[in-house]
């Protein structure tokens, strides 16, 4: 980085200058259709007033947290993650934060972690379902419950796509064993190194923080042939923002400021219905996946530097736990 960018980072340590600059940036009239968004091919990003409000709440705190990190890095670089459930507005808010940081004079790029699973979406969805069903059947066998009749009933439920529905327990009590064992198998897979190529993503973070001017970034579509790499210029980028459900994962290395956008499983599912990103968003299996992911997010929340509620408030970890307690008990 040149002296101009270094001087800017020094200036941002001046509270008077920073507050004035932040106000100027947040007063800008935004053309939401022209804001650069994350790099996930085909992702639909629709920025609305609520996203802008939340981004403006986060920005001053984020810049305050970034100051020491940028100063300590010899290349004046930092990595931020904007993470949470799939219906909480990660893509929109990360895009806005990048826009505001660029307006402040801190170059920023938004990377989508959804480009880094081992499998394209339809194959990953199939693998999740296979793991759930395989572990469910193994659970029945290990408990001495499985027989040919149960196998036939289970096959019918699977063909209907409702074998993850807890309502089946009423007519088939053995389904509780199937569901528990299937969920345990899923918990071992979702958000783990089995599902996601954390090694590749960690390598990108390392390259960025060590001053690489250009880095090849992965692009993943929804079909087998939609996989390629783009060479991205980071020469004028200070802040890499990773927007992703797993942006605060214990497998992820080098995140300086994890920002959690909180949402309940119900809010997440409702957003997915509206976006209609994948088929079967109302299925019991999808509900189970979202519930497991939510539990994972809650377990990681203590490491977040900022936690933002659905109602646009910054929460302490203790306040977050109080908000989530009703959901955690369900």
Same domain? 225 vs 86: yes
31 in any annotated domain? no
> Which two tokens mark 202?
């960690």
Is the pTM here over 0.85, yes or no?
yes
Same domain? 18 vs 131: no
Relative to beta strand 108-112, strand 306-308 is: unpaired
Same domain? 210 vs 301: yes
pLDDT tens for residues 72-121? 999 999 999 999 987 899 999 999 999 999 999 999 999 999 999 999 99
Same domain? 41 vs 138: no
Domain boundary among 158, 189, 220: 189
Same domain? 270 vs 317: yes
Same domain? 208 vs 267: yes
The CATH number covering residue 201 comes to 3.40.50.300
Poorest-confidence range of 105-114, 208-217, 278-287? Answer: 278-287
182 in any annotated domain? yes
Q: How far apart are CA 66 and CA 73, in angstroms?
A: 11
52 in any annotated domain? no
* Chain center to CA of 330: 23
Q: Above 90 in pLDDT, residue 71?
A: yes
> To which residue do tokens 């469910």 refer?
136
Q: How far apart are CA 42 and CA 54, in angstroms?
A: 24
Same domain? 128 vs 103: no
3-state SS, residue 74: coil
Domain boundary among 189, 219, 236: 189
Same domain? 158 vs 296: no
Number of structural domains found in the chain: 2
Angle at 295 between CA 292 and CA 296, to 5 degrees: 90
Structural domain boundaries, residue 271 = 3-24+36-47+77-116+197-329
pLDDT recorded at residue 330: 39
């Amino acid at each position: 980085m040149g002296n101009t960018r270094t001087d800017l980072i020094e200036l941002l340590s001046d509270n008077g200058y920073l507050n004035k600059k932040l106000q100027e940036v947040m007063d800008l009239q935004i053309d939401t259709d022209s804001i650069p968004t994350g790099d996930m091919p085909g992702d639909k990003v629709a920025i609305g007033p609520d996203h802008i409000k939340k981004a403006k709440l986060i920005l001053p705190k984020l810049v305050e947290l970034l100051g020491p990190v940028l100063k300590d890095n010899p290349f004046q670089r930092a990595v931020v993650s904007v993470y949470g459930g799939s219906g909480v507005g990660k893509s929109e808010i990360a895009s806005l934060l990048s826009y505001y940081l660029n307006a402040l004079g801190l170059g920023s790029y938004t990377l989508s972690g959804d480009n880094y699973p081992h499998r394209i979406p339809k194959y990953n969805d199939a693998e999740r379902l296979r793991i759930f069903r395989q572990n469910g059947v193994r659970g029945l066998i290990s408990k001495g419950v499985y027989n040919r009749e149960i196998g036939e009933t289970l096959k019918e439920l699977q063909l209907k796509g409702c074998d993850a529905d807890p309502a089946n327990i009423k007519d088939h009590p053995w389904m509780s064993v199937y569901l528990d064992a299937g969920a345990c198998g899923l918990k071992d897979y979702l958000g783990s190194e089995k599902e996601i190529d954390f090694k590749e993503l960690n390598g990108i973070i390392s390259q960025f923080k060590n001053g690489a001017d250009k880095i090849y970034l992965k692009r993943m579509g929804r079909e087998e042939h939609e996989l390629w790499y783009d060479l991205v210029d980071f020469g004028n980028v200070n802040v890499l923002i990773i927007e992703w459900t797993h942006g605060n994962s214990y497998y992820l290395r080098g995140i300086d400021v994890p920002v959690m956008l909180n949402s309940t499983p119900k809010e997440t599912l409702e957003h997915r219905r509206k976006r209609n990103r994948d088929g079967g968003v109302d299925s019991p299996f999808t509900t189970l996946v979202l519930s497991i992911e939510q539990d994972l997010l809650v377990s990681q929340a203590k490491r977040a530097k900022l936690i933002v509620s659905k109602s646009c408030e910054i929460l302490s970890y203790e306040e977050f736990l109080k908000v989530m307690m009703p959901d955690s008990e369900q």
